[in-house]
Amino acid sequence: MEQTFRVGVITSTHGIRGEVKVFPTTDDAMRFQQLKDVLLDTGRELKPMEVERVRFVKNLVIVKFKGFDDINEVEVFKGKDLLVTRENAVELGPDEYFIADLIGLDVVTDEGDRLGGLADVLQTGANDVYVVKTDAGKEILIPAIRQCVLDVDPDAGKITVHLLDGLLDL
């Protein structure tokens, strides 16, 4: 299982006092208000950063890190990912999973047949769609609804699905 999760990407600096603009990659950008510590992925290391303050402008989050008070100090952060540890990640409800924990799980039917591995999760708004890559390289799209996804067990490494009539014909 993943131990860190990306919550945003630093797009540019903001002003001259060490603030950065962050494009949020989390479902809920408002979670930045509760963040006290993040990890900056420099490409070589995960650098712990303390969040001093946060504000919102349009679809971006303006973040000020403690100890960085000049534009020149944060200029090198452009394009870098901001991560949180699993302990600092949002708390999941029942039947909720981090997408990173699902990718790569085996997908099997309720009849015991292996379909393939979960390659991606598409977030469509109405419901997620699981993209299953078969051993033959074909992609099967399965809506993540109760009628189709019967069981998700990351510890066992598998997802059990029921294939609705016509689903494999697409």
pLDDT for position 108:
95
pLDDT in tens, 72-102: 999 999 999 999 998 888 888 888 888 888 9
pLDDT for position 170:
61
pLDDT for position 1:
63
Distance CA 22, CA 34 (A): 15
Determine the topology of domain 99-169 in CATH.
Answer: SH3 type barrels. (2.30.30)
Average pLDDT, the chain: 91
Contact between 141 and 130 (Cβ < 8 Å): yes
Q: What are the start-end ranges of the E strands in 15-127?
A: 19-24, 37-41, 46-57, 60-65, 81-85, 106-109, 114-123
Tokens of 61: 């989050």
Q: 3-state class of 5 per DSSP? A: strand
pLDDT in tens, 16-37: 999 999 999 988 888 899 889 9
Helix, strand, coil shares of the chain, percent, nearest 5, are: 15, 45, 40
Tokens of 63: 């973040």
Ordered by start, the domain boundaries in the chain are 4-88, 99-169
Minimal CA–CA distance to 161: which of 89, 113, 119, 121?
A: 113
Identical fold between 4-88 and 99-169: no
Determine the topology of domain 4-88 in CATH.
Answer: Elongation Factor Tu (Ef-tu); domain 3 (2.40.30)
Q: 3-state class of 140 per DSSP? A: strand
For the CA atoms of 40, 46, 51, 54, the dihedral, rounded to the nearest 10 degrees, stands at: 30
